[in-house]
Amino acid sequence: MVITKTPFRMSFFGGGTDMKEFYEEYGGSVLSTTFDKYCYVTVRHLPKFFDYSSEFVYSRIERVTDIDEIRHPLIRNCMKYQKMHHIRLAYDADLPARTGLGTSSSFAVGMLNAFHALKEEMADKKKMADEAIYVERILCDEAGGIQDQIAASFGGLNRIDMDEDGYHVIPLVISRDRKQELNDSLMLFFTGFSHMSADVQEKVKENFQDKIRRLQDMKGMVGDAQNILTGKGNLTEFGRLLHESWQIKRSLSGGISTGEIDAMYDTARKAGAEGGKLLGSGGGGFLLFYVDKDKKPYVKKALGKLLHVPFSFETGGTRIIYYREEEPVNF
């Protein structure tokens, strides 16, 4: 039996530049972090006592006799890719799916990590990120970028640079106190809305050439944000840059924001938030705000109808938290 624990991520700057259509020609950059909300994947061999060969438990329960019968496309393609048979898999998570936190990619990374361990194989973080990208973008044929899989696998506060030759993960080296100040200045709220990331990404790809300049501007903000974090100036500038970036991002497609989300965002700004953004591709999920410490109670009160989710940064990425050797089921 294997249990993996894989973090979710929040992307601060550069989202959209991690799409292949952009970074292979112009180069992409993303600044993101993982935080202490996780998905858990439990996998074990399933004895041949049942009239089905594999069982999968997530928001529904699937019992199948053939891999092609699996309805969940990510599970089906990971099973095929890793040549898995006769298993029981269960998924659990601290936060809901389809909410802009890279949950599907965290699931992919955690599942592949568990599959390798069940087969008594060691897989490094790059291998798991690469495999998750391949499964989601090629086998599942879902639109989107590559930052989520990388963040979930490596973990931590990183700049991720991408070009036609691949990607590079660059950990941001800042003092513990400054990192804690950033963490303490961020507030996360659940809007109550969910979305399909691939659907929003498809809309962003429409008339893609017309959006190149705006994506280049968003890419440039990654370096600006890095300089703010690694410098000695006021971190409030980070919040103001978030606001500037969000205004550009929401202009990329009509599906990125909604009237309700715009109203929530404006309410937070009027209450004292320096800036913020809707996490993920857009359309729903979680709103993130940068708020000076003395103004946090006012923002929380103004958004009182929304669920406030406290969090802390994490650095571990995907990991195995339980491992017990099993003999493959042969009887």
Q: Which residues pair with 162 in a beta bridge?
A: 28, 167
CA 246 to chain centre: 17
Which token pair is 284? 């729903």
Q: Which residues pair with 299 in a beta bridge?
A: none
CA 37 to chain centre: 11
Are the C-beta atoms of residues 28 and 169 closer than 8 Å to each other?
Answer: no
Of the candidates 243, 299, 302, the residue with the CA atom closest to the CA atom of residue 276: 243
E strand or H helix that includes residue 266: helix 259-271
Q: Active site residue: 92, 148, 161, 292, which one?
A: 148
Report the C-alpha gap between 129 and 140 in whole angstroms.
15
Confirm whether 217 is a catalytic residue. no
Q: Determine phi and psi for 222, rounding to 5 degrees.
A: -60, -45
Residues taking part in catalysis:
148
